[in-house]
Structure 1
Amino acid sequence: MTQIIPTAEPFFFSGDRSKPACLLIHGFTGTPKEMRWMGEFLHEKGFTCLGIRLAGHATIPEDMIRSNWTDWTASVEDGYFLLRNFTDNIFLVGLSMGAVLSLLMSTRLDVKGIVSMSAPYKLPDDPRLRHIEWIAKMIPFMPKSDEEPGASWFDKEAFKTHVSYPQNPVRSIGQLNQLLGEMRAALPKIKVPVLLIHSRDDKYVPPESVEMIDVNLVNAPDRSKLYITGSGHVVTRDAARRQVFESVLEFLRRVEPQLEP
């Protein structure tokens, strides 16, 4: 069995059982570490937090190649039912692909609200996506960016301890593309409160994604948007993270009184 990368393990913080719980979901090629600081912050405020590891992540990139998008949704389901042992009031809190999963899975699971951070609406138009499975057999990995690692981070010290796969598994890009299609179809079906957070300085996912998602949330009873600056894509670890954490806490506290005990 492949070992999990040190410091990238899943985590569980048991909080006040009278409060809702948060299922924290990391991003594409990322690890639970992306969500740990947020989990620690929310736990200090009394919330139970579970940071899951998505299938194929936080080990070796070859494990991710063997994973399908349905394995990632299954990882979310597993975490959700673990939290159901503590409370029926569960929020999905996701970053990037974790946000995509949160939006999609809110239509399949009984959740009370969604926090979506740095979520893409779609991948950039690229004709290679139509042939991604074939390309992946020839080129299993591709660079994440042309820039130097960490160049888009504002908190350089935080980047030094960031953990993710150094390259994108090409086949997994195709799986992400399929997952995004499922999410887009699910958006009008979402019927719980949603908080959308995005950095205007995100170099990986355009901030316009927020509006594309928001306009399709036609049945969500409570939709709010927060644009931040001074942060790259990983808003849960970069320089503006405290603003993100406080905004998530405010959202949870606003929705919490509406929940049945």
Structure 2
Amino acid sequence: MTTPTTVKPHAEPLSIDGGSVGVLLSHGFTGSPASMKPWGHDLADRGFTVRIPRLPGHGTRWQDLNRVGWDDWYGELDAALSELRERCDRVAVCGLSMGGALALRLAELRPDDVDALVLVNPAVAVRNWRLHLVPFLKYALPSMPGIGNDIKKPGADEVGYGRTPLRALHSQIRTWPQLRADLGRVTAPLLVFRSTDDHVVDGTGLGVIRDGVASKVTEFVTLTDSFHVATLDFDAPLIFERSAAFITEHLGSPR
């Protein structure tokens, strides 16, 4: 018999019911809902209905992540979006890193259901020659050193993994070409936060998103005091305030 995998403390999903405007938040690759919970609680305190799913394979042990892939992660968010659409009049989707890529994909495939997008250091392209080796390395190595907890603020913890599972990583990066090709389907108002000092995702994807989406409203905010996991870093209050104002402006008051 297989022993059930235990979810780490603070990596559990979060669900808070509020007003008629819903917000779906997605954490990043090898991270967990812990990276999004302060943001989610801030939105809930403002009256929004909030959902933060735990993406399959995350928040437990890194070996679990090699057993799942992009379709599983997307499916989890897709189901959460459907649940929110039944409960709320309007829904915004927010994502960190890979969560930003998943949010974009939802907006591409379900444009009528995504009323606004907020992305933090989205991962849709990276200039790193090592990534070209991943499709081959995954057969020889199960993992490589981790990319988690890239946070400037001392003591912050996204409850992620210390290893990067290569099969799962390959599942993520091989979706990028199609994701980038379909950016023209994105029409929702878009707000993007980008850290100037990010040790995980470089700035390549920012221009790709800016030039690719068909959104009539696009805002880009530079974060000068945060690393990659900016939702737990020194600029987090700025993200919380600006995103709440942006969502309210385009979707209406949650109350």
Same fold, judged at TM 0.5 (above): yes
Instruction: Give the Cα–Cα distance (whole angstroms) in 2 for the partners of residues 253 and 79 of structure 1.
Output: 21
- 1:209 is paired with a residue whose SS is helix
The farther-off stretch of 165-174 and 116-125 is: 116-125
The farther-off stretch of 226-235 and 81-90 is: 81-90
1:102-251 aligned within 5 A: 102-109=103-110, 110-126=113-129, 129=132, 132-144=134-146, 152-158=150-156, 161-217=157-213, 219-251=214-246
Q: Is the 8 A contact 2:118 2:190 kept in 1?
A: yes
Unaligned runs of 5+ in 1: none
Instruction: Give the Cα–Cα distance (whole angstroms) in 2 for the partners of residues 207 and 246 of structure 1.
Output: 23
The farther-off stretch of 189-198 and 114-123 is: 114-123
After TM superposition, what 4+ stretches of structure 1 lie above 3 angstroms from structure 2?
A: 131-134
Aligned pair in 2 of structure 1 residues 63, 43: CA closer, same or farther (>3 Å)? Answer: same
Q: Is the 8 A contact 1:65 1:169 kept in 2?
A: yes
Q: Is the 8 A contact 1:9 1:58 kept in 2?
A: yes
Q: Is residue 254 from structure 1 mapped to residue 249 from structure 2 by the alignment? A: yes
Counterpart residue number, 1:29? 30
Counterpart residue number, 2:9? 6
* CA offset digits 1:123-146 (Å, max 9, x no partner): 3343763x634421211110136x
Please tell me the residue identity of whatever aligns with 1:115: V
TM-fit CA distance, 1:211: 2.1
Instruction: Give the Cα–Cα distance (whole angstroms) in 2 for the partners of residues 197 and 24 of structure 1.
Output: 14
Counterpart residue number, 2:64? 63
Instruction: Give the Cα–Cα distance (whole angstroms) in 1 for the partners of residues 102 and 247 of structure 2.
Output: 19
TM-fit CA distance, 1:207: 3.0
Q: Is the 8 A contact 1:101 1:183 kept in 2?
A: no
Tell me the number of residue pairs that the alignment of Structure 1 and Structure 2 aligns.
249
Instruction: Give the Cα–Cα distance (whole angstroms) in 2 for the partners of residues 80 and 189 of structure 1.
Output: 18
Unaligned runs of 5+ in 2: none
TM-score (normalizing by structure 2)? 0.91
Query: What is the RMSD of the two structures over their aligned residues, measured on CA atoms?
Result: 1.9
Please tell me the residue identity of whatever aligns with 1:255: H
Greater length-normalized contact order (CA 8 Å, ≥ 6 residues apart): 2
Q: Percent identity?
A: 28
Counterpart residue number, 2:54? 53
Q: Is the 8 A contact 1:153 1:238 kept in 2?
A: yes
